[in-house]
Chain A
Amino acid sequence: MTKYLTGCACCFILLLSVTARAADTDSSTDASADTAASVDRMGMMERRLNSQEQRISELESEREAAATMAKQHAERTLEIEEELDATRLELDELASQLLSPPPQKKLEIYGFFDTTFYKAWYGHENSVLKSAHLPYSTFMMSHVNLYFSSQMSDTLSALVETGFSFSPLGFETNVPVDAYSYNEETGEMAFIPGLGDTGEYERVDTMVPGGITSTTVRYGSVSIVRAYLDWGPREWLNFRVGQYLTPYGIWNVEHASTVLLGVYYPNLMHWDLVPASQLGVQAFGRIFPSDYLQLSYALTLSNGRGPTSTVMDWDENKGMGARLQLDFTKGKLRIVAGSYGYFGKYSDGERRAEIYLNSDLTRHYKNGSPLGSSIIFSNKYSEYIITFDLEVALAGFEFFGEAVHRKVDYIVHAPMHPDAQFVQTGTYSESRRAANHFSQSAYGILAYRLPISAIAPVKITPYVGVDWLAPDDPLKWFDQTTLRGGVNVKPSPFVAIKAEGIVDKFDDVLGGKMTSVSAQLAVSF
């Protein structure tokens, strides 16, 4: 095998030698031309190489420049992003300030009004109650109240409530009392001239004829319902100065016909057993002993009750009152119980200017001056009032009620009303005076808000109640019991529609029973 391979290699070498010798012989003539072409080509390639190296160098320079620039851009981007974050933050703050509420509103104006339809029926045809309420159905507008409310700062606010009224239009300043004698034989009544109050019937008419460019006008009046400044440095300590609603009970505080459940006011308010408002100062506040409990108080100091209490006081004595209230709320249960006590003095009379003369009608200087004055009181009494109120609400049911006990001690006894004298004694005397007395009244109302979600947001609340009054304990025939029932419908938070029926049970002397129905639309705006 080895010998065979060695032989093949020798033959291959000999073949190569023969082939090379033949090639040298064929190309010997083109050698010089090939050499020149190769040199040219090499030169060209060298130039190209140099060009490419230069290009590479340029590209590397550009790449380095680009990297430097990119680095600069990245740094700049970072800076811009930081600036952007800062700007965004500032923008957020600015937007928040624009979005955030103004801490206080300088002035808000709003109000409410109501229109009522009323009809009453009396126990007998000549009921004396008709002298107080006409027996005809009528529409009436009792309230057109405007509020001006301002929150000047976190602790300072003011409220003015004005009441526009058609009064004194229609006010009867004198309803004469005619006397009749009954003839038992004929059964007829005969007018007795000269007996009773024979004065003229007087009613205020505010109509003013219009001019060429206007129609006839019936002017009305504006009353200041309340006007006060509140300063509240602490939750538990606030001060109120001005004319304010007396902080007693429920009805007097709820106040507006859009808030009140029923149409008729309770008897204790009809009879003004507690002054509805006072002019003076008040301190009030509240604390929260626990999550469910709130204790409130109010202390009042005012002119008290008087014929001109909002202008001037007719005595040095000031009306003083204090209220305590407990408010317990847990889940759907709410219990509010309160009490208000008041002591004050009512004084009414007239002022007189006087001149002092000697017996020879010369000026008398004994007191330093011949001129003087005096105050003559015609009615003066002290009154002590205590009120209680309770409100319990649970699962749509609500019970609320108030009670008032008032004691009147005369210092200067007022003349007794002629009608009261006649009923009480059967006679009339100018010298007969009103007696010290107690006044008491209480009412309770049970209401239930129907859970009818199908007609939401309309709220329907039927209610029933009873109201008892004994305004003057020596005059028992003044006592009155009232049964009431009705429904309050609120189709929106701004509208209340009410319908109510009332049965008043008076003493037979006053005409016995009086039945009335009413409907009211109350609107807040």
Chain B
Amino acid sequence: MRRHLQNGFEFIPMLVLILLALTLGASGRAQSPNPEPIYVIANKGFPADALTASQAKRIFLKQQRSVNGTPVMPINARRTSLLRKQFDERLLQMTVVDELSYWEDQKMQHGMQVPTEIRDTVRAVFSAPIGISYCFQSEFKASAAKILLKI
């Protein structure tokens, strides 16, 4: 049996080589040279006029749930949208799948509920006083929300 095990362990270097080959063959995702800016936006009644990237990241990962003592509610764009993909990559520094994995883990560890997903994020923050979301620069309406951060 021990000999059987030893034979089994001989496969490990081969497995490592295969994985390394796949790693070296991997290529990064091409990024547009001038991507359209994304605004982190909130209702005009939001208790802050600006956020740092770290603050925004914590809020959208529900690691921080209030700003200046007021509860805030992160609202995500649809997970299949380009906006969500680019927001995740730029602010959260993860892919959408990574983010979904993060929420699955948070649900199991802390019973945390996943932020709601909305197609029209500008309208969502317009009507949600504690809502915070994001939109492309071209979708922003100054009459409906205010800008907290540009990424």
Contacts and interface: CB of A to CB of B under 8 A. Distances in A.
Contacts of B64: 235, 288
A276 interface: no
Contacts of B23: 450-452
Given A291-B54, A452-B19, A453-B28, A95 B123 contact: yes
A493 B112 CA distance: 16
Interface string A107-151: 010101000000001000000000000000000000000010101
Interface string A183-218: 000000000000000000000000000000000000
Interface stretch (B34-42, B83-91, B100-108): B100-108
Specify the main secondary structure of chain A where it touches its partner. Answer: mixed
Nearest to A96: B127
Interface in A75-106: 92-93, 95-97, 99-103, 105
By size class, the interface of chain B is 35 or more
Interface in A326-357: 329, 331-332
Contact of B127 (A93, A108, A234, A294): A93
Nearest to B22: A452
Contacts of A93: 126-127
Contacts, number: 130
A490 interface: yes
A452 B24 CA distance: 8
B101 A100 contact: no
Interface of B: 1-2, 5, 19, 22-23, 25-29, 52, 54-55, 58, 63-66, 69, 71, 73, 75, 93, 95, 97, 100-101, 103-105, 107-113, 116, 118-120, 123-124, 126-128, 130-131
Given A100-B123, A101-B131, A259-B104, 8 more contacts: A97-B127, A99-B127, A112-B108, A121-B2, A159-B110, A235-B64, A450-B22, A453-B27
Interface of A: 92-93, 95-97, 99-103, 105, 108, 110, 112, 121, 147, 149, 151, 154-155, 157, 159, 161, 232, 234-235, 253-256, 258-259, 288, 291-292, 294, 329, 331-332, 450-457, 459-460, 462, 490, 492-494, 515, 524
